[in-house]
Structure 1
Amino acid sequence: MRKTWLLGFGFFGISIGWSLYNGFVPFFLDNFITSTALIGFLMTVDNYIALFLQPYIGQLSDRTQTKVGRRMPYLLVGIPLAALFYALLPFHTSLVMLIFFMICMNLSMAIFRSPTIALMPDITPEVNRTKANGIINFMGGCGAILAFSVGSYLFSIKEYLPFLAVSAIFLLVLLVVFTNIKENQDSITYTETLVPKINYKDELNPPTLYLLAAIFFWFISIQGMEALFTLYGVNELGLSKSASAFSLTFFSLSFVLSAIPSGLLGAKFGKKKVIVVGVIGLIFSFLLLNWIESVVYLRIVLFLGGLFWACVNINAYPFIVSTGSTTSYGTRTGLYYLVSSLAAIISPPTLGLFIDFFGFGILFWAAAGSLVLALACIWRVHDKEIVTEGA
């Protein structure tokens, strides 16, 4: 599993980059734009690119043949470009320049994100992929924690410091992955197999549709909360920019610590039951945040929220796969990421529009309301799940 940990370092870099981007770029936009809805819209550029460009790049990498492998050329081009535009973000001098840097950075990230993800199954035997995915998610979570903790400290010193640090981490990630993973040697030989044509009428059964709706609504809640929380902390609670961003560390830390236990609970008691507990816990956590003014209690509740979010997120993907046939795993994976990407596109501008009309105090009320809709949908999912299966 040494190669998996090394590849996990790549996901660590991606995660720290996106977490810092979501935490601090809204402050740059806030200097030019008064509409929170417009800020939220501009923060969803990466999700539009994810819908259209990343699937194409992923398929293109499948057909690429070079001396350094199929995926590595995209890392060699995309990561240095992403590092360059990431470093330039805090040095903008106008809104047009900032948006230009944002778009270029997002396009650069799109070049290597899908090929990086595809490297995991490329070099990992099927029997070890679940364990490898856990390692990669753990590394990604550590990246988010580092972004909100150390990144907040650096941001409080000089606003450009965390961006330069992440840019350097990108280049270090490329060096580590390229030096240690020899794609043409480490990749497992792929054998194409014929599978029956998928019957979409059977696959899109009521449990699947209700579950996809639930996934959409809880991502509306979480994606909007994470994108706008730093502005909420400054405008509603009077926190400094660094203290507001640092508070999200507790949400990410709790998620990382709870990821493996949440998977074990899902295997023991059933994924649906654990998801329902998680959604209910998130609803109460978000409602409670509306009456909290102390930063200490804020971070305690965010820590609890991260625990409940782990119960939901860790079990959601295995659950959507389990509601269909064994020949539809790829299709269901695509549906899962399609729905989550759509939620990420819709959520920040929608919750931002609520904030424009009602003020920042509406953020967690709206997030809790979306979770109530998710709970209503997941409650309608009737499954015949075997709860003794492995996590």
Structure 2
Amino acid sequence: MSTRLNYGKTFLLGFGFFGVSVIWGVYNAFVPIFLANKFHVSAGVIGFFMTLDNIAALFIQPPVGAWSDRVRTPLGRRIPFILIGAPISAVAFGLIPVAAVLPFFVACTSTLLLSAALWRTPVVALMPDITPSAFRSQANGIINFMGGVGTIIALQTGGILFDMSPNFPFWLGSALVILAALVVYLFIEEPKEYETKPDENRSSVSGFFGFVREKFLTSMIGLVAVAAAVALLSMTFPGLRTVGNQFGLPPYFVLSLILLAAWFVYLYVFYMAREVIFEQEKSGLRILLAIFFWFIGFSAVETFFTLYAEKHLGLTAGTGATLLSVLPLFFVLFAIPSGFIAGKIGRRMTISIGLVIIIVMMVLLYITPAEALLTGIAPLPLVGIPVVEGGARMLTLAGVLLIFGGIGWAFININSLPMIVDLTGAEKIGTYTGLYYLFSTLSAIVGPISNGIAIELTNNNYNIIMAIAPLFFAIALVMMLGVRRGEATA
């Protein structure tokens, strides 16, 4: 491995993350609009639906990361996953807006989320594969710069295209994903040799099936406990047996599924993260918990922002997406600088500063009246929004707050993955990248569901998410204060 950062190769590798970001930028911005306006589902159901991609990622991405550590092919150990997953993702993604009935819509989104989960961890694990530890924050800044460009295209161009036709942003995303995968395949050459522990590949049990085998007895105890709990609740509250929801399912059945899923997720997370959990020094566990909590806050806001813009600020969905685009824009602008800042003051300190910025930004969004948030401050082409119908695009107070949010998010997000992969050696980079996505996707499941429920409990007050999210960022800040490892090494 080279002892310096190869900027050209790192920028080219960033095209892989570019493709991932385009897909999820469009998906998170506009799929809730389809669900609310086209299929007429409630905020709680939307919140659950928007976690399905994360549920798939939770069980696919960590084992795929560990699997890719052990794969050896003429193309390398990461590239084959990209060449299989990206084209399938592109086709499924392009079909989402043309789905006229909910079952076909669900089929398209399910195919997308399964195929996308297959290649995300390998493409991200390529960065530490080809980058020395001392330069991983800087390299991650470059890669996230490319990812941020993808998100801006998804929101800015996608917002304009969506107002023209709901199909256009999805079709643009499909084309860009194919282009991104081709760039990575043609220009990124994986290292030929990897350090491997002598007996690890022969004896290691990883992934979901390893978890089932190792935790079989505990799993069976959990099944009995879940059945007993549901039976007791059904006897105590007869309504659980007789009242159906909008899908015709009795509540006891839904409750059973939720409790069962929660139990298996708990065991699965415990199994996959057992090495970090049982370490004597808890920096790894603290970092993973911090990632979990800050992604709860961020994913909840990201999921509901276009509806927040519609219901609370009184904007159209397209204009709401355009307003949000200033956050990824300034994430992009500060992605590379945040890596270099971490090189000077340390990754933990940089992340902590970012958490404070995000907390202040969200609190101000919550306490400031909607009319004041839409106050025009200065003309701003492209990412500004018209504050009056037919007026010029303006930078608003909400836009200013989102600008600071983008800066804070860059400080956080650029330096978290390098901290995780620097907890281990080259032989387990994919595994630890999978742990990063295990905790971030688990939080992305909890965040939208809990915030969707909070919105319904507050009579569809979408502003409530700006009050809840800062609490999770504050918990993440407390976790980071105890971290002692994960900084760059020579």
- How would you bin the TM-score normalised by the shorter chain? 0.7 to 0.9
Aligned letter for 1:373? Answer: I
Find out whether 1:378 has 2:385 as its counterpart: no
Aligned letter for 2:193? Answer: T
Q: After the TM superposition, which residues 215-364 of structure 1 pair with which residues of structure 2 at under 5 Å, given as runs?
A: 215-290=291-366, 291-293=368-370, 294-295=373-374, 296-319=396-419, 330=429, 333-358=433-458, 359-364=461-466
Find out whether 1:150 has 2:154 as its counterpart: no
Find out whether 1:4 has 2:27 as its counterpart: no
Q: Which runs of 5+ in 1 are unaligned?
A: none
Q: Match of 1:50?
A: 57
**How far off is 1:326 after superposition?**
6.9
Find out whether 1:165 has 2:172 as its counterpart: yes
**How far off is 1:390 after superposition?**
8.0
Distance 1:218 1:14 in 2: 20
Q: Is the 8 A contact 1:259 1:311 kept in 2?
A: yes
Distance 2:80 2:157 in 1: 31
Task: Report the 3-state secondary structure (helix = DSSP H, G, I; strand = E; otherwise coil) of the residue aligned with 2:325.
Answer: helix
Which deviates the most, 190-199 or 46-55? 190-199
Find out whether 1:17 has 2:119 as its counterpart: no
Distance 1:119 1:266 in 2: 21
More helix as a share of residues:
1
**How far off is 1:265 after superposition?**
3.4
Distance 1:246 1:85 in 2: 25
TM normalised by structure 2 equals 0.70
Q: Match of 2:242?
A: none
Distance 2:485 2:76 in 1: 42
Q: Match of 1:108?
A: 115
Task: Report the 3-state secondary structure (helix = DSSP H, G, I; strand = E; otherwise coil) of the residue aligned with 1:93.
Answer: coil
The 1:46–1:191 alpha-carbon spacing in structure 2 relative to 1, beyond 3 Å, is: same
Q: Which runs of 5+ in 2 are unaligned?
A: 1-5, 205-273, 375-395
Find out whether 1:188 has 2:187 as its counterpart: no
Q: Match of 2:279?
A: 203
Distance 1:321 1:195 in 2: 21
Distance 2:125 2:424 in 1: 23
The 1:61–1:376 alpha-carbon spacing in structure 2 relative to 1, beyond 3 Å, is: closer
Aligned-pair Cα RMSD in Å: 3.2
The 1:227–1:335 alpha-carbon spacing in structure 2 relative to 1, beyond 3 Å, is: same
Distance 1:122 1:276 in 2: 27
The 1:332–1:63 alpha-carbon spacing in structure 2 relative to 1, beyond 3 Å, is: closer
Deviations 1:134-162 (A, max 9, x none): 32222111111111111111111111111
Which deviates the most, 83-92 or 168-177? 168-177
The 1:125–1:147 alpha-carbon spacing in structure 2 relative to 1, beyond 3 Å, is: same
Find out whether 1:76 has 2:83 as its counterpart: yes
Aligned length: 384
Distance 1:243 1:266 in 2: 34
The 1:319–1:66 alpha-carbon spacing in structure 2 relative to 1, beyond 3 Å, is: closer
Deviations 1:100-122 (A, max 9, x none): 11101111212332333344455
Task: Report the 3-state secondary structure (helix = DSSP H, G, I; strand = E; otherwise coil) of the residue aligned with 1:203.
Answer: coil
Q: Percent identity?
A: 41
**How far off is 1:61 after superposition?**
4.4
